[in-house]
Amino acid sequence: MWKEFREFIARGNVIDLAVAVIIGAAFGKIVTTLVEGIVMPPVGLLLGKVDFASLLYVLDTSKGTPASLADAKAKGIPVIAYGQLINDAINFLIIAFVVFMLVRTVNRIKSKQDTGEVKTKDCPYCLSTIPLKATRCSQCTIDLQPA
């Protein structure tokens, strides 16, 4: 079992996944800082100096009305903090957009690398795809003329 586990860990895709998770976590911190420090203040200013993180709905006013979310937590007042949901939704949209742009760029780079050079051909008898230099079809085993 230990040998099997080592082989599993040694596979390239497991290590690639681990690296992706670590980079993703670090990238998440950067995006959170970007959203909270740069994106949300102008959006809040445009919407009438609203700080989304402090938007909340007080469920129980018997203990008083909190001035902020931190105040509500300190006093133990139950609230629905919907402002944080707005911040997290904007965070998600920014991350999704950045990932989209990254994938789009990688796809463009890959398509430029594909110069259109033909590396395969179709067998004239069975229409399977075979290498261009093949002299025998691997599907129907018919002898072919060299390319």
Structural domain that includes position 6: 2-116
Which parts of the chain sit beneath pLDDT 50?
A: none
13 and 85 inside one domain: yes
60 and 100 inside one domain: yes
Listed residue (101, 82, 97, 102) closest to 34, CA to CA: 97
Rounded CA-CA distance 127/144 in Å is 12
**Count of domains in the chain?**
2
128 and 99 inside one domain: no
90 and 18 inside one domain: yes
Helices and strands, counts by H and E, the chain: 5, 4
pLDDT of residue 14: 75
112 and 122 inside one domain: no
Rounded CA-CA distance 62/43 in Å is 33
Write the single-letter amino acid at 100. F
pLDDT of residue 68: 83
141 and 98 inside one domain: no
71 and 82 inside one domain: yes
Listed residue (58, 108, 118, 104) closest to 83, CA to CA: 58
* CATH number of domain containing 101: 1.10.1200
pLDDT of residue 64: 83
54 and 72 inside one domain: yes
Beta-strand (E) ranges in the chain?
57-58, 79-80, 120-122, 129-131
49 and 35 inside one domain: yes
78 and 143 inside one domain: no
pLDDT of residue 80: 92
Write the single-letter amino acid at 93. L
Rounded CA-CA distance 41/85 in Å is 16
pLDDT of residue 116: 63
